[in-house]
Structure 1
């Protein structure tokens, strides 16, 4: 019996490899749309006044999709907060901070860079942090847990930064790493940006300059 002809050259055609890149891109685009719409609604209506259904309708997805992707409204707020920390540039703000700490030739240059990052990131992350704080104060347990997690993570970042300053010889002899971390923790507190920028009308650039000069005066 003759063998069955398999393809034009007598061999079975190779199976097509499944290209999932477009699907991943579409999913990420949808995720970003949800985050953007949710941010707008949350900052306009507040945490308690915004529902998952409203976010879904504004984003063109189902509520089920939001629960599946983010785990609900609390998870959505977490995702917005984490994305805000990345800053507005092509590379993540934390990566640029680490690079500056490795390459800065003197403490004043590094403090200036810290101030620039504060001016960039604070307008994005502070409104969300304040939203979380206010929701926690009103008794939302998920937001209270998230607030504690955010504050602990922020302090740990400042402690790592301070330790790096100490290792590079950028701290004054009378300032410990723990004290330096506390100073940086205070300068990155949402309430400071809220007071100077949101209440007193400073620009983000003025705020960044203030942070840089405060760090320089107290640490170097």
Structure 2
């Protein structure tokens, strides 16, 4: 039987540790890039934000951005993904609140969970939503990404509706209502333009959706 000596074990351990440090450093670099890009896109818009400006704000080179994420369109998509998922998980189905929604037996309590989380998402997403929507009108790559995003949002909401008990309308109608109402435009109009508080927006959404869906 061949046994590894202490030197082999130490070299293997050191290599694994270096890989872990490298992965952590790359993740931190990517996070700095996405954070810097988010601030610049919201402040200046997509067209006026250059890769050089993002690189300077993140403290990296433009080449590092291309290697870590890709084109400016890919950077905007990374910003959008982080805003939507809130940094919690890799997919909507993995989010903690979705598990709470599925485990809840009371339809009204389920609807409150859904409204609370989707209004929170609308608040987070409203600024970058407008940037992405405007950019999609200018670049074919972003227009295709926008369509895929909207299709994915609709599919996610269809899955969420499937978890809600006691619906008084068809799942497809319920999906359309939630898709059309609980969107970033909701926060743009009520929260930003009209100055409503988060609680006020949530109560409005909950009253309307309870009346329409349950």
TM-score, normalised to structure 2, is 0.87
Return closer, same or farther for 1:62/1:74 CA change in 2, 3 Å cut-off.
Answer: same
Over aligned residue pairs, what C-alpha RMSD do you find?
2.0
The count of aligned residue pairs is 203
Shift of residue 92, structure 1, vs aligned partner: 7.5
Which 4+ residue blocks in structure 1 deviate beyond 6 angstroms? Answer: none
Report 1:50-199 matches (<5 A).
50-87=49-86, 94=92, 95-137=95-137, 139-165=138-164, 169-172=165-168, 175-199=169-193
| Aligned equivalents of 1:56, 1:48: Cα separation in 2 | 16
Residue 122 of structure 2 contacts residue 185 of structure 2 at CA under 8 Å; is this kept in 1? no
Residue 26 of structure 2 contacts residue 68 of structure 2 at CA under 8 Å; is this kept in 1? no
Please say which of residues 204-213 and 55-64 is displaced more in the overlay. 204-213
Gaps of 5+ in 1: 1-10
| Aligned equivalents of 2:24, 2:105: Cα separation in 1 | 40
Given candidates 200, 203, 214, the residue that maps to 2:194 is 200
Report what 2:47 is aligned to: 48
Gaps of 5+ in 2: none
Higher Rg: 1
Return closer, same or farther for 1:60/1:30 CA change in 2, 3 Å cut-off.
Answer: same
Return closer, same or farther for 1:164/1:105 CA change in 2, 3 Å cut-off.
Answer: closer
Aligned partner of residue 131 in structure 2, secondary structure = helix
TM-score, normalised to structure 1, is 0.85
